[in-house]
Structures are given as structure tokens and as C-alpha cells.
Amino acid sequence: MSRKYFGTDGIRGRVGQFPITPEFCLRLGWAVGRVFAQRGRSQILIGKDTRISGYMLESVLESGLASAGVDVGLIGPMPTPAIAYLTRTLRADAGIVISASHNPYYDNGIKFFDGQGNKLPDEVELEIEKQLEAKMICVSSDQLGRATRLPDAAGRYIEFCKATVDRGFRLKGLRVVLDCGHGATYHVAPGVFEELGADTIVIGAEPNGMNINDGCGSTHPDALVDKVREYRADVGIAFDGDGDRVMMVDASGELVDGDELLYIIAAHRKLIGELQGGVVGTVMTNFGLERALDGMSIPFERAKVGDRYVLEMMKANGWMLGGESSGHIVCLDRTTTGDGVVAALQVLRAVVETGKSIEELRAGMHKAPQTMINVAVEDPKGVAASADLAAAVADKEKVLASRGRILVRPSGTEPVLRVMVEGDDAFEVKSICEELAYVAENCALGSSNGAAAS
């Protein structure tokens, strides 16, 4: 059975447009409450990032849950992985995160964790969708849920992050610039790195509800690059709006993406005998990572894009490490989901324990030239299935032959078609990617003109 509302990472869209409306989210809270209330008296936690719309959505979700007889724990602005951790350790039945991750402030979304801090199983999401079609009925007054605020959530999460490295681990002597993207890490990430002894400089930690991810954070690292150079820092660390992604900048101001961070962690774990199994990437993972891991006899497999699919493959293989080029890095031996702060600490652990810089640690991986263009289209899936685009891709695959690869896929979180080309020749890769993006744009125009004519 296909999902009507749930995507690869919950429910997401433009605020004020279906489904991110007060009316729908009230029903969503009720539907979730109905599903969990069937199992007995339940408690569900709600956290959010720093978007202004989070207040509105939090209140209607709380009302919906309470009307279904579910108790609610309000956490306030906290990173997505913190909600997963708190849901598990506070023995809640589920956790809800109000966030659109790396998207602009005018987008928002709702995503869920089960009581173990994992993404909800497919069958539970389908059960929620079924309840969304039912008539909304409020429980009797004596059965209504209660709402309470949890005051020490930030402190609990800071201690958890510190506990993911050895008790004697210190960052003393390291100058670190943190870019919190005016997002959910603004009040927790600085505490983690300061308490571990780093000389910490913080930017992007003054959220106003509308500046989340705006020219800052992991998707816009230019500000971080400038600060690393200005302060002659050893490393820069950038998080996205909800703190489940991380990018780094080395001392020379060069960006270190998720593939390279995954390589650094894997290589260090291999060195110290802690790597359990192999590494899971995605179809977007740079071929340079695959080659580097192969050179160390580390197994590597590719999952579909999305941390949900990376996690599924990791669990199926019994592996502890996986991630995406975007900076979603999952260390299953430390936590249950992608966590930007935890991943950054694992990279810095390699720095401290080897005595090598980020530049030296990344040197063993040579990235293949890769170009990706996001083509804004109303119907990404329709354009991706276009016969004209498929023919153009087939032609270019013949040109590349065994020297590269092409991937065209609709985004699971934005109305864009992602066109990625990878190969040995940077100029050829860029040229092919631009040509295919142009074909995709024309396919989208043709589709919209046809719809208008009909």
C-alpha cells in the first residue's frame, strides 16, 4: 500500500499549503494519538527547530494528541537526533519533530520516532494515514491527555553527546568554529564543544524564526569558511537546521563533505580495530569513497537516498557506520539516527587520537569529479519518468561508458529533480550534467504546457 502523506522523511511542505496547515496537523496529531492510544495510555514527545511556524504547528499537534487521550511532553527547540535520544531514554511511546531540516524557514515538516528512537515502521505510518481518513472524535474530558514541559532536555542531550566519546577525551588545544545555522543546535552544540575543552567560536546561533539555514549552516558553508580563515581555526563545523547533518571545513578553508567525513571515521575505526563490518553509502556517494574503502578492504554498499534507507541496509548487514554526501552520518554504535554533533565528535576523535589534521586524514580519499544540478520542477517524478529525458540519459551513458555514471532522481523533500553526473574528467562531467538539466527543464515545460492546453 503506497503512502498518501508520508514521504521518505515524514510529511513536509510549504507552511500554509496542504498538508502543512493548522487544520491538517490538528488531524494528524489526533490520528497519531488514536494509533498509540489503542495500545494503552501513551506519552508522546514534541520537539521542533527554530522556525517561526513551529509554534503554530506545536500547538495544534498538542491539541490533536490530547484530544485522542495521549499525554504530551513539550521539549521546545532541540535537534532531531536529540528527540530520538530523549524519546528512548524518557521511555516515551513516540517522538515528533517539527522541522524541514535544511529547507528555508517558510517550509516545515513533521517526522516521527518510535519508542526506541527509530523511524516509525511502514505499518505504523500506514495506520496513521488510515486514521486520517476517519471522523475526528474527542475522548471524554476525564480521558484527555495532559501536556507538560520538560525543563532539562538540553542538559540531558549535551551529556549524551559527550558520552559518545571516551571519558578522558578532550579537545584542548583545538580551535573550533561552529556554525549552528540559526537552527536547533544553537543552544546545545556550543555547550558540547566548550565542555570538552575546545577553544570554541560560535556563529549562526541567533535564531529569529526566519533566518534558519539562511546563508549559513551545512548547506551554505561560505560564512564558516571565512571564519575559519579569519580565526585561523583548526576546523570548522556546520550543522543544518535540525542538527542531523554536518559538514566540516579544514584549516585551509576547504570544505569536507559527508563522504569525506565518513571516510575519516571508517579509516580511523579500521586502524584501531573498532569498525564492525562495512560502510553503507547511497547512490549519490562519490565513487572516490568506494575506491578508498576498497583499498582498505572495507566492504561498501549503496542504498537509496535517504537516511531511512541507509539505516535499513546498515541493520540488514549488521554494520555500524553509514551516511550520505549531504552530511547525514549514522553511527549505530553510538545512537539510533543521523546526528551532526555525534558525527563531528567521531571525526575529531580521529584528529585527537592520531595527532593528524583534517587535511591529513582526508588525504587518503580522492574524490571523483562530480556535478549535481537541482532542477526546480512542479512534478519531479513525472519529469524523471519522461521518455525524452531517459533517451538523453542513455545517450550520455554511452559517451561516459565505464568512465563515469549518471543519476537522475526526484527529491524526496523538495520540488526538484536532482541530476548528478560523475566521472574522471571534470569538464566532461559538468558539460553532460548541464545538458541533461536543460533537457529536464524542457521536459517540465512541455508537461506544463500540455496540462494547460488540456
Does residue 340 sit in the same domain as residue 402?
no
Tens digit of pLDDT per residue, the chain (454 long)? 567 899 878 999 999 999 999 999 999 999 999 999 998 889 999 999 999 999 999 999 999 999 999 999 999 999 999 999 999 999 999 999 999 999 999 999 999 999 999 999 989 999 999 999 999 999 999 999 999 999 899 999 999 999 999 999 999 999 999 999 999 999 999 999 999 999 999 999 999 999 999 999 999 999 999 999 999 999 999 999 999 999 999 999 999 999 999 999 999 999 999 999 999 999 999 999 999 999 999 999 999 988 889 999 999 999 999 999 999 999 999 999 999 999 999 999 999 999 999 999 999 999 999 999 999 999 999 999 999 999 999 999 999 988 889 999 998 778 899 999 999 999 999 999 999 999 999 998 876 665 544 4
Of 97, 122, 150, which one is at a domain's C-terminal end? 150
Same domain, 294 and 375: no
Same domain? For 374 and 362 the reply is no
**Residue 377's CATH number:** 3.30.310.50
Q: Which of 202, 235, 268 is the last residue of a domain?
A: 235
Note the pTM of the prediction, 2 decimals. 0.90
Q: What is the domain count for the chain?
A: 4
**What CATH number did the domain enclosing 221 receive?**
3.40.120.10
100/191 same-domain check: no
* Pair (216, 332) in one structural domain: no
Residues 49 and 142 in one domain: yes
Whether 165 is covered by a domain: the verdict is: no
Considering the domain architecture, whether residues 89 and 216 belong to the same structural domain is answered as no
The set of catalytic residues is 101
Residues 179 and 261 in one domain: no
Whether residue 383 sits in one domain with residue 349: no
Please state, in angstroms and rounded to a whole number, the distance separating the CA atoms of residues 257 and 448: 36
* Residue 249 is assigned to a structural domain of this protein: no
For residues 363 and 414, membership in a common domain is answered with no
pLDDT reported for residue 451: 54
What pLDDT is recorded for position 3? Answer: 77
Q: Please report whether residue 299 resides in a domain.
A: yes
Residue range(s) defining the domain that contains residue 75: 11-150
- The answer to whether residue 428 sits within a structural domain is yes
- Within a domain: residue 69? yes
- Where a domain ends, among 306, 339, 367? 367
- Whether residue 17 lies inside any domain: the answer is yes
Q: Are residues 295 and 319 in the same domain?
A: yes
Residue 229 lies in a domain: yes
Does residue 136 form part of some domain?
yes
